[in-house]
Amino acid sequence: MVDQLPNRGLELEMLHEMGFSSIDDLFSDLPEHVRMNEPLPLPPPQSEEEIIADARRLLGANRAMGDVVSFIGAGIYRNYVPSSVFQLVTRGEFLTSYTPYQPEVSQGMLQAMWEFQTLISELVGLPIANLSLYDGSTAAAEALTCVVRVHNRKATQKDTVYISELVPPDRMSVMYNYCQGAGITLKILKHNSDGTLDLASVKDAEGSCGVYVEQPNPLGILDGGLTQIKEIIGENTALIVGIQPVSLGLVEAPGNYGADIVVGEGQPLGSPPTGGGPIYGIFACSNPYLRLMPGRIVGKSIDVDGKEAYCLTLSTREQHIRRHRATSNICTNETLIALMGAMHMSLLGPEGLEHLAIRNMAACTIAKQKLSEIAGISLPHVASSHFNEFVVELPKSAADCLNYLDSVGIIGGFDLSRWYPNHSNWLLVSVTDQTKAAEIELLAAHIAVWSTLKEAVI
Amino acid sequence: MSRLFDFAGGTGMGYSQPEPLLPKTSIALPPSLSRKELPRWPRLSEPEMVRHYTWLSRRNFGIDTGFYPLGSCTMKHNPRVNEVIAQLPGIADIHPHQPEHHLQGLLSIFHEMQHMLAICSGMDAVTLQPVAGAQGEFTAVRCVQEYFRNRGETQRTKVIVPDSAHGTNPASAAMAGYDIVEIPSLENGRIDLDALRAVIDDTVALMMITNPNTLGLFETDVPEAAEIVHAAGGQMYYDGANFNAILGRTSPGLMGFDAVHFNLHKTFSQPHGGGGPGSGPIGVKSHLADFLPSPIVKKRPIASGEEQFAVDDMWYSWYVPQHTIGKVQQWHGNAGAVVRCWAYYRRYGYGLKDMSEHAVLNANYLRHALHREAALAGVSHMFVDGADAEVAKHEFTLSLQPAKEAVGVSAMDVAKGLLDMGYMAPTVYFPLVVPECMMFEPTETESRDTLDKFAKDFVKVLQIDAETLHAAPITTPVRRVDEVYAARNLCLKHPFDEE
């Protein structure tokens, strides 16, 4: 029997008090022809014990990354979230609250989100951050529509933004879906054979509303050339940079090399991978974008006694006020996951972030070295610096390699032909702070064995 | 006060990490990308950090703190087993790009949720991709848009939205590029069929509507509205914000809708987390199914060699429809929220009908109790029903206009007075069609005792003199917050010393 209904058994008493005789009376306003007269064809209710047993059985059938050796990344990364984050974020006062429409009893979450805005602002080098969008892809997509709203009037290439050709198709698809309604054209920025952005092609973006690039880029490359973009495109074209937040413990904040908007997948800071959601999207910007940006923002204010207090602000951009003229349709966002991010950032501190970034890059450096030593295997972008991941060019298909590695308990990486069909032999190998030196050795040894196999694995 | 950036000069490190595999000096970075100054983040030890966030939590009100009758938000109890399940490594520690045979358990849960949502809504196909209600709306609007483009009906450039609709409806349709045609509602927020007939033609793609409506009333004219829209070749969209009222009693399919979104965080109890995460799957009739975004899961009996990975002797696969609109979130939606909501659904099974019945029972009972207590205390003249109807569904509205006129007490004053009594306030000033509106949604997880006590306390608030109530709240961590000051003196981050 369902155990979540405190008034079970009191139905008739309550109904009688209201002058009704049955529950049916409460649904008497439903026209006959729309009534569902049969019971729902669903299984019976379960007890908590039965549910958790089934959850363990079903989810236990999944291969958790921690149970195998994993080199898969490509946008979502294995990380470590300190225990206190989980313990604190499940406090009922945070967990079971909603959007702080009544600020007097929501100061905790409001202040935490104001602090989150500050942490993100400091991280990316821009003065303004909102309190999260759904994920990195929607943050990027919202940034594109935002820069068109801001720059279209002066643009010579109206309703046009330029996007790195390396952006993964699923992320590009989100951008298209968000942009097509506003009549925005997405044009492509080319890359050099070493994986860096073709700065000559950036010239084409002059006069458009914005340029979207990623640092590190989807091949894991840290591209110094991105620091020159703003000079090329000028004041009236926005530079949007997508980031991996942990990298910013070593890599210059994009706000310091001309980025007008910074977006990214917040996940590595505070959130387990969770199959890709819920995670949180970072969105930060400079002042000209403030009043046309998407998402909720907390401001510091005072109460009637002049006491420090926090509340949502600039709400007139939002759907519940502006309706179809809103800057975004977003209402529910990812506040609780952003809170996990804030907690993780608080625990790290500046030096902890740098240390975490060093761990990521150190593992990446070793993995590049080890894999490049395998005969018949090359690293097409070996001269570049990488964060988290790099491309390995194999003698045979990446799909076959992944099948082999899977058979020995290794998730070997990401088959890049899923993004770039011309590169069936490209494997994107991801390492993080969680990668052990012995795991890298194991990967290299097995790839070496696989590369000598004559037959396909499947 | 505990302020995070008061720790900016601290020396603490909240947790120690293993040493890197190589020292910093062995790491090559392009000189132009070398970070010159680290972020000015605070330095807290773990005990300081734990105390800071615990302090903050105590200044926040959740369902666990007390009654949370926030209309339109379905603030029901969040069973804790769902949180335990969501932290199992089989969901927390999985990667969206892992191959299917690594994720059979997750895919089976997705499949079960698709099946359940299709049954409850009377739809033919479901995608779990959208991560919030508003994104579900947008996704469905995009599917309808592509459906019409595919049919060559590109003249359909309009979406009809009643003026009582949630703001997300027009915002989502506008994001997809539609012109919004707002039609006025009748009294009680009901749909005006004549107003609909006046604007309907073959330039209309879609009508968006929620039922029960935002006043908590079942819209008996919706089936006829659907006939009118369908006769003009348009589509009907059901905003599932109020789905908690009708499970097992009726369905959007029976009412004539073509597409629907579900707010899993409302109906199926994903904790609202101060503003998210949510999950906003959509269901559609078969003619729209080919336009849905993935993730969609299909199943078949297992083949030989698959036993070692399979659950329940079935094989589950991702499926991408032929004319898919593509993605609206890069990954598989909010998988963690879907798993929590699956656990919630399992708690009810076919008893989901009981859930809705109790939600409606509680709403009607609370409305009754408020009137009862007001009569006993002699303050019946202070408010009227926002809508004139014998029964409400899962929520209802009151208008405090009489109190405003009689004694100068506004809905906001009463809301702030309720905060002092230890409650979250109902939604105020929505929907706009009710003057001085308060919208109550008790949900099915509140006991009769709680409802009775709240009704008594509500009436006590109405008996407080206007001057005192204008000054409320007085017992909360801060008193009335100056939102105008916040907007005029924008302070969106810690200023640090030098700025």
Ranges in chain A annotated CATH 3.90.1150.10: 66-78+349-452
What pLDDT is recorded for position B165?
87
pLDDT at B409 over 80: yes
* Cα separation, A136 vs A124, whole angstroms: 14
Task: Look at A107 and B176 and tell me if their CB atoms are within 8 Å.
Answer: no
Residue A311: which of B43, B88, B481 has the nearest Cβ?
B481
Close Cβ partners of B232 (under 8 Å, ≥ 6 residues apart)? B200, B201, B202, B204
Residue A278: which of B79, B337, B353 has the nearest Cβ?
B337
Task: Look at B95 and A76 and tell me if their CB atoms are within 8 Å.
Answer: yes
The nearest CA of chain B is from the CA of A316 a distance in Å of 10
Mean pLDDT of B210-225: 94
Residue B102: which of A63, A277, A318 has the nearest Cβ?
A63
Contacts of A109 in chain B (CB under 8 A): 56, 60, 274-275
Beta pairing partners, A263: A242, A283
What pLDDT is recorded for position B223?
96
Task: Look at A365 and B22 and tell me if their CB atoms are within 8 Å.
Answer: yes
Residue B361: which of A23, A30, A311 has the nearest Cβ?
A23
Amino acid identity of residue A402, one-letter, is L
Residue B38: which of A55, A331, A354 has the nearest Cβ?
A354
What pLDDT is recorded for position A316?
84
Residue B56: which of A27, A108, A330 has the nearest Cβ?
A108
Contacts of B339 in chain A (CB under 8 A): 55, 59
Taking a C-beta distance cutoff of 8 angstroms, is the pair B348, B76 a contact? no
- B493 by DSSP, 3-state: which? coil
Cα torsion for A412, B91, B120, B246, to the nearest 10°? -140
pLDDT at B9 over 80: no
User: Which one of A97, A285, A293, A356 makes the best mutation probe of the B interface by having the most chain B beta carbons within 10 Å?
Assistant: A97
Contacts of A43 in chain B (CB under 8 A): 349-350
pLDDT at B499 over 60: no
Q: What is the DSSP letter of A195?
A: S
Long-range contacts of residues A18-26, Cβ cutoff 8 Å, at least 24 apart: A18/B364, A18/B365, A18/B368, A20/B364, A23/B357, A23/B360, A23/B361, A25/B391, A26/B357, A26/B360, A26/B361, A26/B364, A26/B391
Contacts of B480 in chain A (CB under 8 A): 104, 303-304
Render pLDDT for A422-432 as a digit per residue (tens, 0 to 9).
999 999 999 99
What pLDDT is recorded for position B379?
96
Ranges in chain B annotated CATH 3.90.1150.10: 353-484
pLDDT > 90: percent of chain A:
94
SS (H, E, C) A329-343: CCCCCCHHHHHHHHH
Render pLDDT for A278-300 as a digit per residue (tens, 0 to 9).
999 999 999 999 999 999 999 99
pLDDT at B71 over 90: yes
Chain A nearest-CA residue for B8:
A349
Confidence of residue A325 (pLDDT cuts 50, 70, 90): confident
What pLDDT is recorded for position A458?
62
User: Is residue B3 within a helix (H) or strand (E), and if so which, with residue range?
Assistant: none
Ranges in chain A annotated CATH 3.40.640.10: 84-345
How large is the ipTM? Answer: 0.97
What pLDDT is recorded for position B335?
98
- A325 by DSSP, 3-state: which? helix
Write b or e for each residue in B196-211: b if 16 or more Cβ atoms lie within 10 A of its Cβ, otherwise e.
beeebeebbbbbbbbb
Architecture of domain A66-78+349-452: Alpha-Beta Complex (3.90)
Task: Look at A319 and B168 and tell me if their CB atoms are within 8 Å.
Answer: yes
The nearest CA of chain B is from the CA of A229 a distance in Å of 13
Render pLDDT for B143-169 as a digit per residue (tens, 0 to 9).
999 999 999 999 999 999 998 888 999
Task: Look at A118 and B493 and tell me if their CB atoms are within 8 Å.
Answer: yes
What pLDDT is recorded for position B198?
97
User: Is residue A146 within a helix (H) or strand (E), and if so which, with residue range?
Assistant: helix A136-151
Amino acid identity of residue A46, one-letter, is Q
Chain A nearest-CA residue for B1:
A308
Angle at A159 between CA A158 and CA A165, to 5 degrees: 115
Residue A26: which of B90, B274, B360 has the nearest Cβ?
B360
Q: What mean pLDDT, rounded, does chain B reach?
A: 96
CATH of domain B81-349: 3.40.640.10
Taking a C-beta distance cutoff of 8 angstroms, is the pair A385, A367 a contact? no
* Cα separation, B412 vs A312, whole angstroms: 17
The nearest CA of chain A is from the CA of B192 a distance in Å of 17
* Cα separation, B84 vs B376, whole angstroms: 45
Render pLDDT for A52-111 as a digit per residue (tens, 0 to 9).
999 999 999 999 999 999 999 999 999 999 999 999 999 999 999 999 999 999 999 999
pLDDT > 70: percent of chain A:
100
Q: Residue A306 CA to chain centroid, in angstroms?
A: 38
What pLDDT is recorded for position B8?
79
> What CATH class is the domain A84-345?
alpha beta
Q: What mean pLDDT, rounded, does chain A reach?
A: 96
Q: Which fold has domain B353-484?
A: Aspartate Aminotransferase, domain 1 (3.90.1150)
Q: How many CB atoms lie within 10 A of CB A394?
A: 23
Chain A nearest-CA residue for B171:
A324
Contacts of B343 in chain A (CB under 8 A): 51-52, 55
Render pLDDT for B81-119 as a digit per residue (tens, 0 to 9).
999 999 999 999 999 999 999 999 999 999 999 999 999
Mean pLDDT of B175-192: 92
- Please state whether B90 falls in left (phi above 0), alpha (psi between -120 and 50) or beta: alpha
* Cα separation, A47 vs B346, whole angstroms: 8
Taking a C-beta distance cutoff of 8 angstroms, is the pair A297, A117 a contact? yes
The nearest CA of chain B is from the CA of A403 a distance in Å of 10
Chain B nearest-CA residue for A227:
B32
Render pLDDT for A212-226 as a digit per residue (tens, 0 to 9).
999 999 999 999 999
- B162 by DSSP, 3-state: which? strand
* Cα separation, B350 vs B343, whole angstroms: 14
Task: Look at A257 and B97 and tell me if their CB atoms are within 8 Å.
Answer: no
Handedness of CA B41, B43, B44, B46 (dihedral sign): positive
Close Cβ partners of A127 (under 8 Å, ≥ 6 residues apart)? A121, A286, A287, B492, B493
Task: Look at A128 and B98 and tell me if their CB atoms are within 8 Å.
Answer: no
* Cα separation, A120 vs A122, whole angstroms: 5
- Kindly write down the DSSP assignment for every residue of A259-298, as one continuous string: -SEEEEE-TTTT---GGG-S--EEEEE-GGGGGG--S-EE
Confidence of residue B50 (pLDDT cuts 50, 70, 90): very high
User: Is residue A187 within a helix (H) or strand (E), and if so which, with residue range?
Assistant: strand A185-189
